[in-house]
A and B are shown apart, each in its own frame.
Chain A
Amino acid sequence: MTPFEVELTPIFFLDLSLLTMLLLVAIAMLRSRHLFAVVMLSGIYSLLSAAFFVSLDAVDVAFTEAAVGAGVSTVLMLAGMLLTARKEKPKMPGRAPVALAAVFATGAALIYATIDMPAFGDPNAPANVAVGQAYVDETPNDIAVPNIVTAVLASYRGFDTLGETLVVFTAGLAVILLLGVGSLRGGRKVSDTDANKAGDQ
Chain B
Amino acid sequence: MMFAVATIAILVAMVLALVRAFAGPSLYDRVLAGNSFGTKTVLLIGLMGYITGRPDFLDIALLYALINFTATIAILRFFSYRTPKGPRAEPIPPSADKGAA
* Residues of chain A having any CB pair with chain B under 8 Å: 10-11, 14, 17, 21, 24-25, 28, 32, 36-37, 40-41, 43-44, 47-48, 50-51, 54-55, 59, 62-63, 66-67, 70-71, 74-75, 78-79, 82, 85-87, 146, 189-193, 196-197, 199-200
Contact = CB atoms under 8 A, between A and B. Distances in A.
A21 B38 CA distance: 14
A51 B44 contact: yes
Given A40-B21, A200-B94, A189 B81 contact: yes
Q: Interface extent on B, as a size class?
A: 35 or more
Contact of B67 (A28, A67, A189): A67
A75 to B, nearest CB: 5
A200 B83 CA distance: 18
Interface of chain A, main secondary structure: helix
B11 A17 contact: yes
7 contacts: A10-B4, A40-B34, A44-B18, A44-B21, A47-B37, A66-B64, A79-B78
A85 B91 contact: yes
Given A10-B7, A191-B81, A50 B22 contact: no
B83 A44 contact: no
Contacts of A193: 83, 97, 101
Contact of A44 (B34, B52, B54): B34
Contacts of B21: 28, 37, 40-41, 44
B71 A70 contact: yes
B18 A50 contact: no
Contacts of B63: 63
B81 A190 contact: yes
A199 B78 contact: no
Contacts of B4: 10
Interface in B72-92: 74-75, 78, 81-83, 87-89, 91-92
Given A51-B44, A192-B82, A193-B83, A40 B31 contact: yes
